[in-house]
Amino acid sequence: MAVSGGILNSKTPIFGQKLYVIVIATIAVVLAVFSVIFVILSRKWRSKRGRIGVKRSPGILPLVCQEISEVKASDQVQATREGDENSKAIVLVGDAAGIVEIDTENKKRSSESNESTLTQSESSAALSASADGLGNSGWGRSYSLRELQIATNQFCDENVIGEGGYGIVYRGVLPDGFVVAVKNLLNNKGQAKKEFKVEVEAIGKVRHKNLVGLIGYCAEGAQRLLVYEYIDNGNLEQWLHGEVGPVSPLTWEIRMKIAVGTARGLAYLHEGLEPKVVHRDVKSSNILLDRKWNPKISDFGLAKLLGSEKSYVTTRVMGTFGYVSPEYASTGMLNEGNDVYSYGVLLMEMITGRIPVDYSRPPGEVNLIDWVKGMITSRRGEELVDPSIDVHPPPRVLKRMLLVCLRCVDLDANKRPKMGQIVHMLEADEFPYLTGPRLTG
């Protein structure tokens, strides 16, 4: 220990300092150098982490880079569709210091801030469409009035294919060659807009092979138009009562095909939709036919959406004379039983080939329902079949159809069958004749 202590106390050539002083100074310098190097490396490492995605503190707002544009609503919808199984979509927005995650669930709050994802013009357009209630809701597209004017050759008379109480229907050809039916709703004492909205709400949501499909609409100023699929074989009224020759092309089998298809379409409106839809104007001119004689129910301009209630009282009776049920005509009480009654009249019309009310007939035959009931009571049911049908149906089949007719037009609305039951009646091989209602004059 003495030798070691003597060495450390010996003087060195470095400024004449003792050795232990030199050692301590050297150690201090080395530690200082290592400290400086550690601080420099630590700062560089933290800076590098910040550039690759360290999250910011909540109180710091990102400085958006000029190269990053606004996130459009369409981009957010796409991001939502491509989100994870929890439907939580993340939109990545770059900025000068890193990447910021924006949860689309917070888009309402971000729309109120300066970093709103919608521009002012886009927001105004969205609010306008929402306020009018006519925005694109997924069932069709919006056409301009100019487009439909061109398609129908300025709505010329040569393109008229039908007329009703609420508008005129034109044949139209779109630029891609697609043929459509354009219904121009007339301003009937201020009701056109109301009826338009009813039809848009009802038909726009309905898809069924026996119902005419709605393709789109037009709403410009006071103009209200609907664009339907075009059915190119006329309607049932034209084939039943038009000049088709001594032998009707509507054979019994074709008429029953039309009857069943129409019943299915009405059953879907009544029982397959919520809220249910009552057509209110079931008649032969509203049954369109394609080239294969498949029926498609058209003209929902008089449709009334029903809620969960069984009936709805309306202040305005709508429909066509001869098809309207007695209780609806007298009280205005509307429910699906009114459509059932009208269907019964339609079925009689297809069986007999006669219109519901014909003043050119003898007194006892003017009203179709009364005449059919009288013929059945007199056991002359087979004479009711349209004489223009070449091959008449078997007696058992005819009796089944006539019984369906009678049940549909029962004066007691509660005894009328539902449209779904009528479908089964028309398709059944065996029909419970004994359980049907008795004819009471």
Dihedrals phi, psi of 359, to nearest 5 degrees: -75, -5
Of 193, 176, 186, 184, nearest to 156 by C-alpha is 184
Dihedrals phi, psi of 211, to nearest 5 degrees: -130, 140
Burial of 284 (0-12, 13-18, 19+ CB in 10 A): buried
In which residue are the tokens 């848009």 written?
A: 200
Q: Exposure string (b/e) for 146-174, b if CB count within 10 Å is 16 or more?
A: ebbbebbeebeeebebbebebbbbbbbeb
Per the CB < 8 A criterion, the answer to whether 216 and 140 are in contact is yes
Per the CB < 8 A criterion, the answer to whether 338 and 325 are in contact is yes
How far is the C-alpha of 241 from the C-alpha of 44, rounded, in Å? 92
Per the CB < 8 A criterion, the answer to whether 340 and 408 are in contact is yes
Two tokens at 419?
């449209």
Dihedrals phi, psi of 342, to nearest 5 degrees: -60, -35
Q: Which amino acid is at 286?
A: N
**List 95, 132, 232, 281, catalytic entry:** 281
Cα 280 to Cα 276, 303, 435: the distances in Å are 12, 6, 29
Peptide bond into 387 cis (omega under 30): no
Assess whether 281 carries a catalytic annotation: yes
Provide the 10 A C-beta neighbour count for residue 194: 11
Per the CB < 8 A criterion, the answer to whether 169 and 229 are in contact is no
Two tokens at 254?
């074709």
Per the CB < 8 A criterion, the answer to whether 164 and 184 are in contact is no
Residue spans of alpha helices (H) in 286-432:
326-331, 336-352, 368-377, 395-408, 419-427
- The catalytic residues are 281
